[in-house]
Amino acid sequence: MAEKLLSGVTVKVNAEGYFEDLNQWTKEMAVEMAKEFNIELTEKHFEVIDYLRQKQKTGEQLSIRKVGNSGITDIKGLYTLFPGGPLKISSKLAGIPKPVSCV
Partner 1 sequence: MKNIVILGSGTAGTIMANKLRKSLPAKTWNITLVDRERNHYYQPGFLFIPFGSYSESDVVKPKAGFLPSGVNVIYTDIDKIEPQQNHVLLAKNKSLGYDFLIIATGAQLKPDETPGLKDKLYYKNIFDFYTLAGSLALFELFKTWKGGKLVMAITELPFKCPVAPIEFVCLAEAFFEKKGMREKIDITFVTPLSGAFTKPVCSDVLTEVLEKKGIKIVTDFYIERIDNDTKTLISYDGKEVPFDVLVIVPVNKGDDMIERSGLGDDLNFVPVNKHTLQHEVYYNIFAVGDAAAIPTSKAGSVAHFAADVLFENIMSAINGKPLEAKFDGHSNCYIETGYGKATLVDFNYDTEPLPGTYPLAGIGPFKLLSITRINHWGKLMFRWIYWYILLKARPLPVSNHMSMAGKKQVVN
Q: Which residues of this protein are in contact with partner 1, per CB under 8 A?
A: 15, 60-61, 63-66, 69, 75-76, 79, 83-85, 88, 100-103
* Catalytic residue status for 92: no
CB-count exposure of residue 18 (10 Å: 0-12, 13-18, 19+): middle
Closest approach of partner 1 to the CB of residue 28, in Å: 28
Nearest CB to partner 1, comparing residues 6 and 73: 73
Closest approach of partner 1 to the CB of residue 26, in Å: 27
Q: CA-to-CA distance for 24 and 76, rounded, in angstroms? A: 30
- Contact in structure between 1 and 81 (CB atoms under 8 Å): no
The 8-class DSSP code of residue 99 comes to P
Nearest CB to partner 1, comparing residues 5 and 103: 103
Nearest CB to partner 1, comparing residues 6 and 68: 68
Closest approach of partner 1 to the CB of residue 35, in Å: 21
The 8-class DSSP code of residue 56 comes to H
Q: CA-to-CA distance for 101 and 82, rounded, in angstroms? A: 18
- Residues noted as catalytic: 102
